[in-house]
Structure 1
Amino acid sequence: MAQQDINTDIASTYREIYRAKFQEDVQTGVKKPFLVPLYLITYWVIPIIYLTIPHKNRPWVYRARWLVLAFTVAFNFHIILHVSSHNFASAYGAGLIGAWGIVWNFALLVWTKPQWEAKRVEIRRKKRPQGAQSTQDNRLRGPSSPFSSQNDHTAQSNGNSNAQGGSRNATGLELNGYKPSGNGSAHNRKGGNNTVNSRTTPGHTELSEELRKLLFETVPSFRKYQNDDEILAELKKLGENQEFEYYWQEYPADASLWTRLDWAFDIANSFRMTGWNWAIPCLPPYDLPPTINGYQLPLSAVVPHRSKQGYTRRLSRKSFFLTRLFRDIIPGYLIVDFCAVHMTADPYFVLGPEHHHHAGVPLPPHLASLSPVALSAQRAFFSFLGVISALQLVFAFGSLALAFLPPIPQILRFRSHPWHLPSFSGSFVEVLDRGLPGFWGGWWHQTFRFGFAAPSRWLERQGYVRSGSPAHRLVAFALAFVQSGFLHASGSYSTVPRHSKWWLPPLFFALAGIGSSLQTWLARRVFGGLIRRLPRWVRRLGNLVFVLGWMWLTSWALIDDFGRCGLWLFEPVPVSVFRWLGYGPTQDRRVWRYERDFWPKWYSGKHWWNSGLGV
């Protein structure tokens, strides 16, 4: 592309215009800055405090959830209607957070009963039979906590190293994982005790072939033993010296305030319910490792580590770090940097499709020469590329921060282990094999899936719809896309520009639901016989064409509004590699992008609760 084609810098101009507009709105009382901690209390404070109070045997406390819900809904609607930010991403995020706060509080307080039904995989010191020899306890060695700084990936510490033989390193989280295959976890997993007993007959003890395979792949050092008797004897010895164990922790009603607070904080912040019996079904399973002859296997025995939809998890911190860095962060950083430079040279991404009529900003020559079809396709492509790369970058940085950035791992402990941090998205094969339903239900990030699915699951449990019926699927589809539309409409409304059309994003998600249902109906009812006879590559090509065509024809309702909202004016990276290489408008070649207006600001209000850090 010729340099003179992109020498107009309208992005910097409108950044200044919108920031000045926001300051004017704050001074006149039209908008309020997004203050931390004030506008996070209905997400991080009130529901967590309520869930910390035991109410299984206190009906009046349980009924009080309606008061909690009423306050959180009213407060979150206040955020949607009146809160914005000088930061363009935070301005959109204010409405998004307000809407998600409503959806999530309904999920935790109405559609589910966490204190009755939810449980998580947790670690505790292994209980030993009363009267056990004190000499055995004296032999126990290793860290006093499974999160010792010297061995922070070890969750189960064995005692006598001589008793362990070659298996001493087989009790930690960081192990050779089982080769992925099969399906992910089932939603609302019951969570049994997972104790596996060997088959025993007089004079002979035998392990099943499946159990032996799992044991050898999880703890390779057991392959040296010649028969099952030796294996079981070693397992019993290891089990006697095993210091920590995994267990299902239900709501700890009788535990200390700190323990209940930790439990409530965890469930309120686990959007995908990783590590819980409510883990969303597209993820690898979350369950207890099997226990064989008194010895509990490490977490690597909870297989597979790759779900059918392509979501993967790592057990090694090194593997987790390298995967996130080289597969997610570095490519995502470069792509989002290129998109930020390239897209903001197009006035469509700065002002929306009305840029020429309302603002008098013409297209640059390199875009004006394109046909309307080519221009529309290019804009749709870069919009989705920018969204995907930005989300990938945010989620990857967030997961690395949870796992490595002090003091987060020290506070979250077991919850910060990579086992709880599966990949951000699924496999694109889901799109090729299932089309639009695979796009939204498998490949695209499933961060909000539990909250979106909670109302339809409640209707199912109450008997209003039959599980698996067409009515159930239709209701689940409709409710999920309606809630997604609500989130994006709220984000559009809370932005600074006044010309955003918040009612269009819900239209996009409604059309997405219609398209998914339409493709399923066509593939099963109309052309099912023909499609089944076609080669696999033809079926996949057909799915891909349908997805690309439908997304192109309907995406205008969403991406047009992204431009009107000024969302692409956000600076996604601190250092612009492509501007350093000379790409982009000549008037703005600043390599360092985070200037004073990017950073949080302190706001002082009339009252102490109106003061805080504006983000």
Structure 2
Amino acid sequence: MLLPHIFNPTPTSYYDVLRQFQERLDAGLASGEYQPFVWPYRAFGPNLLILYLLLPPTKSKVVYYARYPLFALIIYLSADSILKCRSSMVTIGYGIGLLNAWAVLWSASLIIWNDARGEFRRIEEHEGADEKLPVDKANGATTGAEKLTDGDLRARRVDGGAAKSLGSLQEHGKRSNSSKGKLFVWQTLPATFHHRLDWVCDLVSNFRGVRWNYQISGLPPPPAHIQSSLKDPSIPSADARSDLTHTDQIRRDLFNFVLCLIALDVQKTITLQDPYFWGLPPSTPSPFPYPRLFRTLLSVAFVYTSLLTVFLLSPIVFGVLLGPNIIGQHAWPWLYPPFFGPPSQIYRKGLAGLWGQWWHQIFRYGFEQAGEFAGRITGWEKMSQKGMLLRVAVAFACSGPLHACASYTTLGDTKPIYGSFGFFMLQPVGILAQRAVSGWMKSRGLRARIPASLRGIINVAVVVVWCYVVGPMIADDFAASGLWLYEPLPISPIRALSGDGFWRWGGRWVRWYSADRWWRSGLAC
């Protein structure tokens, strides 16, 4: 059943758009075209991944090969949710597509392209150095408080901030007789359930791999006192970012969070003045001059501020509000590095710096693993020109479908293929074109004649022009999805001054949904 155009008649306010979204959802639910997103039924796929990872350590071939049918089931369940589920809440609707697509990619990264149960490990702190750890005969490792790996066989204990050598540990993980101080080890899949539950939950939610052996590049290494304990030469040397204290973290993150809240209120107020941000077509007249430039810049600013606000919640909640007294080692300040890099990378590297170092890297590991998998299939080495081109193209070929699925599951008149997917598939073209021009100028000796400051200005100019040309592809898709109609804050002092109301949150967020099968019933949003 094809539903009528959502903007018929043309809305006169953003309230009309929200009402028409609800009408479209109601019509789809009544016809059977749509289903609500129901928890926990629709979260079954990601939960399967967690349950699989929670299986005790074993060398069983059955468990090892079970990951393939499990992954196939995750793909089916995620695709089913993307095709059928919708929500009148714009952020939930966008998240249905984005998170289900990411669940597939992240599952592939953990259990298909890698064997997280056997290969991944994280840095942990352990007390009581005189504990005797028995051998787990199932997998040849130690059990109890932790399971030591080869990286643990040479470790140091930190006592009062001074690193004291423990010497070499025995093959099966025997420790020093001293019971004082702290020991930092590489922890593989633990044997005890409560320990394994903590390890697995951290694994599936730690997309950047901070404190894990799959940590993405560009993040701060562990502090020096942890490195002196691990004695792992593969870890980069600690730097100033590694020594972040809780005081530094509070000062940095709380200040940035407050700035984000103020900026969100300002941006939300401005966007509501332009019907384009309600979801109307780009041809809609704008109250602001240079509509294309204004809308693109404001879309970038709104995306950046919205994401940064969400990202700052983890260091504030876990690192500041809960802190080490409640959640222990999960509150280490170095576990919460900034999600966005310095803007100076755009000045230095242009489009490559924009995407590779400035923009958030939350999905980077999944994209990299897809590229590595493609490299293994083709046999193209990572450092070869073909290998580099392949990996860049694959990374954006993963980002495109993620955002296209998110666009597809909204209730607006979006263009997922042309808009979100097309935008990301053009990015490697721009990056490679800029690199090709830079390489050509360097080979002709022209690049050396241009001052570094001028090269930086040219890089920034290239990014601005590129975003002006291709940016509307995704900006129009964001707007059409109704994404900017979400209410980021419960209160809005600025909009209250204009008479639009102070309290912004309301309505029914969740409800109980009763389906024809009991397992399909649950909380719907």
- TM-score bracket, normalised by the shorter chain, equals 0.7 to 0.9
2:64 aligned with 1:48 = no
2:127 corresponds to which residue? 125
- Is the 8 Å Cα contact of residues 121 and 287 (structure 1) preserved in structure 2? no
2:358 corresponds to which residue? 443
Distance 2:269 2:114 in 1: 45
| Helix, strand or coil at the partner of 1:467 | coil
Residues 288/47 of structure 1: CA separation in 2 closer, same or farther (3 Å cut) = farther
2:162 aligned with 1:246 = no
Residues 314/575 of structure 1: CA separation in 2 closer, same or farther (3 Å cut) = farther
Distance 2:128 2:247 in 1: 28
The Cα of 1:39 is off from its aligned counterpart by 2.2
Distance 1:264 1:288 in 2: 26
Residues 17/246 of structure 1: CA separation in 2 closer, same or farther (3 Å cut) = same
AA aligned opposite 1:66: Y
2:492 aligned with 1:576 = yes
2:170 corresponds to which residue? none
| Helix, strand or coil at the partner of 1:555 | helix
Gaps of 5+ in 2: 1-10, 133-149, 166-176
Residues 397/81 of structure 1: CA separation in 2 closer, same or farther (3 Å cut) = same
2:523 aligned with 1:594 = no
Which of 421, 442, 454 is matched with 1:538 structurally?
A: 454
The Cα of 1:35 is off from its aligned counterpart by 2.2
Q: TM-score, normalised by structure 2?
A: 0.84
| Helix, strand or coil at the partner of 1:596 | coil
AA aligned opposite 1:475: L
1:274 corresponds to which residue? 210
- Is the 8 Å Cα contact of residues 193 and 288 (structure 1) preserved in structure 2? no
Q: TM-score, normalised by structure 1?
A: 0.72
Written as runs of structure 1 = structure 2, the 5 A alignment for 1:346-357 is 346-353=274-281, 356=284
Written as runs of structure 1 = structure 2, the 5 A alignment for 1:371-450 is 374-404=290-320, 413-450=328-365
Distance 1:477 1:69 in 2: 25
The Cα of 1:605 is off from its aligned counterpart by 2.3
1:603 corresponds to which residue? 513
Distance 2:13 2:258 in 1: 28
Which of 245, 249, 269 is matched with 1:316 structurally?
A: 245
The Cα of 1:414 is off from its aligned counterpart by 1.8
The Cα of 1:271 is off from its aligned counterpart by 0.4
Distance 1:34 1:271 in 2: 24
Distance 2:515 2:243 in 1: 46
The Cα of 1:398 is off from its aligned counterpart by 3.1
Written as runs of structure 1 = structure 2, the 5 A alignment for 1:166-181 is none
The Cα of 1:112 is off from its aligned counterpart by 0.9
Any idea what the Cα deviations from partners look like across 1:424-480, whole Å, max 9, x if unmatched? 111111111011001000000000000111022234457712121111111111111
Which of 201, 217, 220 is matched with 1:265 structurally?
A: 201
How much identity, in percent, do the aligned residues show? 28
Distance 2:377 2:350 in 1: 32
- Is the 8 Å Cα contact of residues 368 and 391 (structure 2) preserved in structure 1? yes
- Is the 8 Å Cα contact of residues 315 and 419 (structure 1) preserved in structure 2? yes
The Cα of 1:507 is off from its aligned counterpart by 0.7
Which of 75, 81, 91 is matched with 1:73 structurally?
A: 75
The Cα of 1:79 is off from its aligned counterpart by 1.4
The Cα of 1:103 is off from its aligned counterpart by 0.7
Residues 276/287 of structure 1: CA separation in 2 closer, same or farther (3 Å cut) = farther
Written as runs of structure 1 = structure 2, the 5 A alignment for 1:11-160 is 11-43=14-46, 45-54=47-56, 57-128=59-130
Distance 1:578 1:436 in 2: 35
The Cα of 1:232 is off from its aligned counterpart by 7.8
Any idea what the Cα deviations from partners look like across 1:44-99, whole Å, max 9, x if unmatched? x2111111224652112211111100110000001111112121111111100111
Residues 513/191 of structure 1: CA separation in 2 closer, same or farther (3 Å cut) = farther
| Helix, strand or coil at the partner of 2:501 | coil
Which of 332, 339, 347 is matched with 2:267 structurally?
A: 339
- Is the 8 Å Cα contact of residues 33 and 85 (structure 1) preserved in structure 2? yes
2:382 aligned with 1:467 = yes
- Is the 8 Å Cα contact of residues 282 and 476 (structure 2) preserved in structure 1? no
Distance 1:263 1:344 in 2: 44
Name which one, 1 or 2, has greater alpha-carbon Rg.
Answer: 1
Residues 321/88 of structure 1: CA separation in 2 closer, same or farther (3 Å cut) = same
The Cα of 1:249 is off from its aligned counterpart by 0.5
The Cα of 1:34 is off from its aligned counterpart by 2.1
The Cα of 1:416 is off from its aligned counterpart by 3.6
| Helix, strand or coil at the partner of 1:245 | strand
* More displaced 10-residue stretch of structure 1: 460-469 or 64-73: 460-469
Written as runs of structure 1 = structure 2, the 5 A alignment for 1:493-532 is 493-497=408-412, 499-503=413-417, 504-527=419-442, 529-532=445-448
Residues 291/608 of structure 1: CA separation in 2 closer, same or farther (3 Å cut) = same
Distance 1:506 1:460 in 2: 22
| Helix, strand or coil at the partner of 1:246 | strand
Q: State the Cα RMSD in Å.
A: 3.2
| Helix, strand or coil at the partner of 1:277 | coil
AA aligned opposite 1:75: L
AA aligned opposite 1:608: W
1:304 corresponds to which residue? 239
AA aligned opposite 2:465: G
Which of 270, 281, 284 is matched with 2:220 structurally?
A: 284
| Helix, strand or coil at the partner of 2:124 | strand
